[in-house]
Structure 1
Amino acid sequence: MDINYTPAELEFRDEVRAFLSAAVPEDIAAKVRLGKHLDKADHLRWQRVLARRGWYAANWPVEQGGTGWSVVQRHIFEEECAAFGAPRLISFGVNMVAPVIMKFGTEAQKAHYLPRILSGEDWWCQGYSEPGAGSDLASLKSRAVLDGDHYVVNGQKTWTTLGQHANMIFCLVRTDPQAQQQRGISFLLIDMATPGVTVRPIITLEGDHEVNEVFFDNVRVPVANLVGEENKGWTCAKFLLTHERTGQAGIAQSKAALAQLKSVASRELRNGLPLLDDPLFRLQIAEVEMQLMAIEMSTLRILAAVQGGGVPGAQSSILKIKGSEIRQAISHLMRKVLGVHALPFAEEELDYAFAGELLHSDYSAAPAGQYFNLRKLSIYGGSNEIQKNIIAKMILEL
C-alpha cells in the first residue's frame, strides 16, 4: 500500500484541521492537553458539535447517518483530533453497540436506538466483565430467566467504564445454564433506570471515578430488547470485541503522546543538556516510534481489507497487543523524563478550575494519572495473554 497521502487526502486533512481549530471548545481542548477531568457535559458538547457537522458516526453507513469516509480518512480524522486536543469519543454507543444493532438487531431496534446514539440522548456502557469472568468471559454468571414477555435479570457486572453517566447498558447474560458456556449466552439492552439496577463506584489507584460495579436484582427487561437470537449472544459479543480491540490500538493517541514526550524531553535537562540529546534515551524513543509506525501501517491494511462491511477478526488481537504495549511504553518514558516531577499530584489538580500551586512541575497532572490508567490496557478488552491464544488458534492454527 502507498504510505503517502494523496492530494485529496491532504485536502481532507486541511479541512479537518480548519474544522477543529474553529469548532473544538477552548476549555475542553485545554482540559485534554492538561490531563484534567472531562465531565459528561464536556463529552456531550463535543459529540453534538460533531453530529451537527455530520462527523460523529465516522464508521457508520451513510444511510444510517455515517460519513462515508474511507479508512484513511477516518485515520486522518482520529490523528488530527488527538493532535489538536479534542476529546476521544466515548465508543460504547457509536462504535460498539451500534454496529451490533446494525448487524444483528431488528428493524424496530435500529429505528429506535441508532438515532438516539447520534443525538446523544442515550449514553451507553458495557456489561461484560464480572467478578471471576473477565478475560474468561464465557464463564459469566449473570442470569436472565424468561417470564412472559420479559427477562428477569440477576447478577453483577464490574469495571463498567463511565457507568455513572449511562442511561443504557448492553449486557451479556446467561439464558441457558445447561448449554455449553458460549451457547447459553444472550445479548440484552437494559435501561439503567429500571428498578433493581444499582451502580456503585470503584475508585482507581490515582483517585479517579472511571469504573463501577453494576448490580441487577430481579431487573425486568422486555424480550424486545434481545439482540439476535436467544442463547446466541456470543456471536454478537465476538463481533463487538473485534471492533473494540481494533480501536484499542490507539494509534492517534500514541502519536499525540509521543509528540508530547519529545517536546518535554527537549526541555528537561540532564547534566546541563536536554534529555532528548542523550543517545541512549533517543534510542528508546526511536524503538517505540518504529513500532508505532509499523502498527499504524498494519492497522490501515487490516481495516482496508474489511472496509466492505466485514470485521477485522483475529487480526484485531494483534493490534490490541501491540497498541497497548506501545501506549504503556510511551507513558513509561514520560515518567523517566519527568523523574521526581511525575509524582505526587493532588486529586484537586485534575479539576480544570484548580488555580493553586502544582505539586510536581508545570507539566500538569497528566503524566502521573495516565501512567496508572494505562496499566490496565494490557488487561481490559481481553488480556494480552488471551489475545495471544486467539492468534495462535485462529491465525497460526496451533
Structure 2
Amino acid sequence: MAFAAELDAPASPIDTFRKDARDWLAANFPPALKGKDNAMSAIDGPTDLSPDEAAWKAAVGEKGWGVPGWPKQYGGGGLSKAEIRVLQEEMGRIGAWNPIGGMGVMMFGPTLLEYGTEEQKQEHIPPIARGEIRWCQGYSEPGAGSDLASLQMFAEDKGDHYIVNGQKTWTSGGQWADKCFALVRTDKTKKHEGISFLLIDMHSPGVEVKPIRLISGSSPFCETFFTNVSVPKGNLVGREGEGWTIGKRLLQHERSSLSGGGSTARMFAGKPMGALAKDYRGTDEQGRVSDSDLRMRIVRHEMDSRAFALTLRRAAMEAKSNQGPSAATSIMKNVGARITQDRAELSIEIMGMNGLGWEGEGFTEAELNQTRTWLWGKAVSIYGGSSEIQNNVIAKRILGMLDHQ
C-alpha cells in the first residue's frame, strides 16, 4: 500500500521544473549545435551566426535562461539555485550550451543590478539578457595599470552632461563593442574619492579605437581614445566619487568569471593530456605514456585541474547564497592562471617541435593552434588584475596583513 501511495504522490516542484526544462530544450535546441563550441559569447572577435545559432540565441534570450538567476522583470530567468542546477544538468545531458555571454553578463550586469537606478536597470539589463548589446571595459590607462586609481581620463561636468577626454588601453573587444563601462576622474583633487563610474556609447563622436596585435597573432585588445565625448548625466552609476567602490565590486565579478569560465575555459578544451601524450610520445608495454616522469606530471596536473573545478563549483554556490563573489576570487584567479599556463607548457613539451609551428607545411591545424594558445596564455596571469595584484588582495583582505611603511 505504501508503494502504491508513492506512485500516486504528486511530482515535486523541482521534478516538474526538470520536465518543463527538458521539454523546452527538446523543442528549441537545434541538434546540429550539439557539442559545438560556443562562439556567440566571445569578446575577442566578430560573431557571424548560422541560422541555427541565431534561432537558439533568440529562444534563450526570450526565455531569460541566458542569465537564469537574474530577476524576471529585467529579462532574466528568475530561477532558484536548485532550478539553475537542474537547467545546467539538462543542458549538459543533450550537449546544449548557453549562447548569451560577454562582459555584459560576466561583469557589468551583476554590478548594475547592485548599484544601478531602476531606470538604468530597465534600460541596460534586458538587452544584455537577450545578447543584443556588446559591452567593453574602460579601466586601465597607459599610466594607470597596476595602480589603477592613478587614472586620469577626465569627465568634466557640463550641467546635464559630461565632456570626457582621455585614453584607455587593453580595452578587450573594444572594436566590436556598442557600449563601455568606464572609470573616469570627476575630481582631480582626490585620488580614490575622485573616481566615478560612467557608461559611454562607443558610437559617440570622438571615440576612436585602435586594435593592439599580440604575439599570438590575434588582436582582442585595443587602445581607445576619447576626445570631447559627450555623455549624459543619466549614465553615471551611483554618485560622483563612488566609482572606486563600484569598480572594485565589478572586478570581483570579473575575477570570478576569469578563474573558472570564459577565457580560462578555453585552455581546458581539446584532447585530454594523457591521450595527447600517447599520440606524440608513445606507450609502454602496459599501454601507459612511455615517459614515466611526464606521466607523473600529467597526473599531477589533472588532479590539480579537477580539484580546482570542484572548488569553483563550491565557491559559485556559496557566492549565490551570500552576497555574490568575495575577495576569495583573487585566489581562484591566481590558481586558474597557474593551471592554465601549466597546461599550455605541458602541451608544448608533449608535442615537441610540432608544438612550435607558426605556419607552413608539416604542422596540423591543431598544432598551429596550440602554438597560439601557448602564447595567448601568457596574458592569463596579467589581465583582470595581475597575479601580483591578486597576491596583495589576498594578503590584505583575506589574511588580514597590513602595509608597514
Residues in 1 aligned to 2:157 and 2:63: alpha-carbon distance in whole angstroms: 43
Change over 3 Å in CA distance of 1:79–1:132 after alignment to 2: farther
Residues in 1 aligned to 2:27 and 2:275: alpha-carbon distance in whole angstroms: 22
Match of 2:327 among 308, 311, 314: 314
SS of 1:266 mapped into structure 2:
helix
Please identify, of 104-113 and 293-302, the stretch whose mean Cα deviation from structure 2 is larger: 293-302
| 1:202 matches 2:190 | no
Q: What is the correspondence of 1:342-357 to structure 2 with a 5 Å cutoff?
A: 342-346=355-359
CA contact (8 A) 1:56 1:66 kept: yes
CA contact (8 A) 1:254 1:330 kept: no
The aligned counterpart of 1:326 is 339
Residues in 2 aligned to 1:25 and 1:153: alpha-carbon distance in whole angstroms: 47
| 1:98 matches 2:102 | no
The aligned counterpart of 2:292 is 279
* 1:372-398 CA-partner distances (Å, limit 9, x unpaired): 111111011111111111111111111
Query: Cα offset for 1:192?
Result: 0.7
Query: Cα offset for 1:243?
Result: 0.7
Change over 3 Å in CA distance of 1:328–1:278 after alignment to 2: same
Residues in 2 aligned to 1:76 and 1:334: alpha-carbon distance in whole angstroms: 33
Q: What is the correspondence of 1:195-274 to structure 2 with a 5 Å cutoff?
A: 195-250=205-260, 253=265, 256-257=268-269, 259-270=271-282
Residues in 2 aligned to 1:335 and 1:140: alpha-carbon distance in whole angstroms: 38
Query: Cα offset for 1:338?
Result: 1.6
CA contact (8 A) 2:68 2:84 kept: no
Q: Which amino acid aligns with 2:199?
A: L
Residues in 1 aligned to 2:71 and 2:62: alpha-carbon distance in whole angstroms: 17
Q: Which amino acid aligns with 1:369?
A: R
| 1:144 matches 2:155 | yes
Residues in 1 aligned to 2:27 and 2:247: alpha-carbon distance in whole angstroms: 34
CA contact (8 A) 1:79 1:255 kept: no
Gap runs ≥5 in structure 1 = 1-6, 347-356
Residues in 1 aligned to 2:166 and 2:366: alpha-carbon distance in whole angstroms: 43
Higher relative contact order (CA 8 A, sep 6+): 1
Query: Cα offset for 1:317?
Result: 0.4
Change over 3 Å in CA distance of 1:90–1:342 after alignment to 2: farther
Please identify, of 244-253 and 152-161, the stretch whose mean Cα deviation from structure 2 is larger: 244-253
Query: Cα offset for 1:280?
Result: 1.3
The aligned counterpart of 1:131 is 142
Query: Cα offset for 1:239?
Result: 1.0
Query: Cα offset for 1:318?
Result: 0.4
Residues in 1 aligned to 2:189 and 2:291: alpha-carbon distance in whole angstroms: 62
Residues in 1 aligned to 2:91 and 2:265: alpha-carbon distance in whole angstroms: 10
Query: Cα offset for 1:250?
Result: 2.3
Q: What is the correspondence of 1:1-398 to structure 2 with a 5 Å cutoff?
A: 22-23=29-30, 26=33, 29=36, 39-42=46-49, 45=54, 47-48=57-58, 50-52=60-62, 54-67=64-77, 68=79, 70=81, 73=84, 77=88, 90-179=101-190, 181-250=191-260, 253=265, 256-257=268-269, 259-270=271-282, 276-308=289-321, 310-346=323-359, 359-361=362-364, 363=366, 365-398=368-401
SS of 1:249 mapped into structure 2:
helix
Q: Which amino acid aligns with 2:289?
A: L
Please identify, of 149-158 and 132-141, the stretch whose mean Cα deviation from structure 2 is larger: 132-141
Query: Cα offset for 1:53?
Result: 5.0
The aligned counterpart of 1:352 is none
Change over 3 Å in CA distance of 1:30–1:98 after alignment to 2: closer
Identity %: 36
Residues in 2 aligned to 1:370 and 1:315: alpha-carbon distance in whole angstroms: 27
Question: Between Structure 1 and Structure 2, how many residues are aligned?
Answer: 373
RMSD: 3.5
Q: Which amino acid aligns with 1:29?
A: K
SS of 1:190 mapped into structure 2:
strand
Change over 3 Å in CA distance of 1:122–1:38 after alignment to 2: closer
Residues in 1 aligned to 2:65 and 2:332: alpha-carbon distance in whole angstroms: 25
Change over 3 Å in CA distance of 1:269–1:296 after alignment to 2: closer
TM, length-normalised to structure 1: 0.82
Residues in 2 aligned to 1:135 and 1:196: alpha-carbon distance in whole angstroms: 27
Residues in 2 aligned to 1:20 and 1:265: alpha-carbon distance in whole angstroms: 41
Larger Rg: 2
Change over 3 Å in CA distance of 1:41–1:361 after alignment to 2: closer
* 1:7-32 CA-partner distances (Å, limit 9, x unpaired): 98xx79x959x769953765993797
CA contact (8 A) 2:330 2:394 kept: yes
Q: Which amino acid aligns with 1:302?
A: A
Gap runs ≥5 in structure 2 = 1-13
Residues in 2 aligned to 1:385 and 1:62: alpha-carbon distance in whole angstroms: 39
Residues in 1 aligned to 2:203 and 2:143: alpha-carbon distance in whole angstroms: 26
SS of 2:272 mapped into structure 1:
helix
